[in-house]
């Protein structure tokens, strides 16, 4: 099986296409491939398939390193776009991808700079989803015995965003590990820790469900900015500083799609026997 190793701001991926090659991936195989000592090593595996819908160029699936399939990955979307272009599977600058829950549009701005239409953020509790009846006040609720204010949004996958005073001292591992599997979130949750520098600039660390803290999380950056704009804390164009680098997020507000702009990098190509 041929594959490419890629990354978006240090959030790394194994990218595979099942258009020209035939193989079977199981949860166990994905877990073995993700091992950084005995396998390829990655945060997520990205699988590109033929689309059954003529409106889309390809279908795009995401698997976390433990083999669980998830709905969305912003950094992965940029890498998939670059992969399709490098492998000659597309010869245009705009690509339409379907996912298991939504669709995304990708546009090449420059060689490694890619813009992704991430659709409109969804603040409905049932879409996040939340298992309990919780009243969201200004898109936020109290968790952990009402000691923690947490803002919730779906970017096609569930996000919990916590505003902090210091990004360096944020309890990412402790709070992230606790909340990702809390019963309130039936499909788990990604936990973002956001420090607002000014209305055009934030810092962010993200604990991704099933993975832990990563160098970057594209959908997490989108979620944090969406929360900030919805609460009138941020303007419509925001620079997001992540551990692995910077993204630009643009959102005009409700009834408009949100855009993510950032780099994607090809590391190497390889072959592996399964």
Cross-strand pairs, 47: 16, 61
d(CA 174, CA 121): 27
| Catalytic annotation present for 222 | no
Distances (CA, A) of 237 to 162, 228, 240: 20, 11, 10
pLDDT of residue 146: 75
DSSP string, the chain: -EEEEEEETTEEEEEEE-SS------HHHHHHHH-TTTS---SEEEEEEE-SSTT-SEEEEEEETTS-EES--HHHHHHHHHHHHHTTS--SSEEEEE-SS-EEEEEESSSSEEEEE----B--GGGTT-SS----BTTEEEETTTTEEEEEEESSSEEEEEE-S-SSS--HHHHHHHHHT-TT-TT--EEEEEEEEETTEEEEEEEETTTEE-S--HHHHHHHHHHHHHTTSS-SEEEEEETTEEEEEEE--TTS-EEEEEE-EEEEEEE---
The full set of domains in the chain, from first to last, is 2-119+263-271 (3.10.310.10), 125-256 (3.10.310.10)
The catalytic residue among 73, 150, 160, 222 is 73
pLDDT of residue 203: 98
pLDDT of residue 192: 97
pLDDT of residue 131: 84
pLDDT of residue 212: 94
pLDDT of residue 181: 84
pLDDT of residue 230: 96
d(CA 21, CA 207): 34
| Catalytic annotation present for 73 | yes
Residue 123: φ, ψ to 5° = -105, 5
Q: Decide: 216 and 242 in contact? Cβ < 8 Å.
A: yes
pLDDT of residue 10: 95
- Spans in the chain with pLDDT lower than 50: none
The catalytic residue among 150, 160, 217, 222 is 217
Residue 86 structure tokens: 């490098």
d(CA 233, CA 171): 22
**pLDDT tens digits along 157-201:** 999 999 999 999 999 999 999 998 888 899 999 999 999 999 999
pLDDT of residue 254: 96
d(CA 28, CA 62): 15
């Amino acid at each position: 099986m041929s594959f490419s190793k890629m990354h978006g701001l240090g959030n790394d991926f194994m990218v595979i296409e099942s258009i020209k090659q035939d193989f079977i991936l199981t949860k166990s195989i994905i877990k073995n491939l993700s091992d950084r000592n005995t396998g390829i090593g990655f945060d997520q595996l990205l699988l590109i398939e033929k689309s059954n819908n003529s409106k889309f160029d390809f279908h795009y699936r995401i698997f976390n390193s433990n083999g669980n399939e998830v709905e969305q990955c912003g950094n992965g979307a940029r890498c998939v776009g670059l992969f399709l272009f490098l492998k000659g599977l597309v010869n245009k600058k705009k690509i339409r991808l379907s996912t298991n829950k939504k669709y995304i549009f990708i546009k090449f701005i420059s060689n490694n700079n890619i813009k992704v239409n991430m659709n409109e953020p969804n603040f409905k509790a049932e879409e996040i989803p939340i298992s309990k009846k919780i009243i969201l006040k200004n898109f936020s609720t109290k968790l952990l015995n009402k000691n923690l204010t947490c803002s919730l949004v779906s970017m096609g996958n569930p996000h919990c965003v916590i505003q902090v005073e210091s990004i360096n001292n944020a309890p990412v591992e402790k709070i992230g590990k606790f909340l990702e599997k809390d019963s309130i979130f039936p499909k788990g949750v990604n936990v973002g820790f956001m420090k607002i520098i000014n209305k055009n600039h934030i810092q962010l660390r993200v604990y991704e469900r099933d993975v832990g803290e990563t160098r970057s999380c594209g959908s997490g950056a989108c979620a944090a900015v969406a929360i900030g704009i919805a609460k009138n804390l941020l303007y419509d164009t925001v620079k997001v500083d992540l551990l692995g680098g910077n993204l630009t997020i643009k959102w005009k507000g409700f009834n408009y799609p949100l855009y993510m702009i950032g780099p994607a990098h090809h590391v190497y190509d390889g072959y592996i026997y399964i």
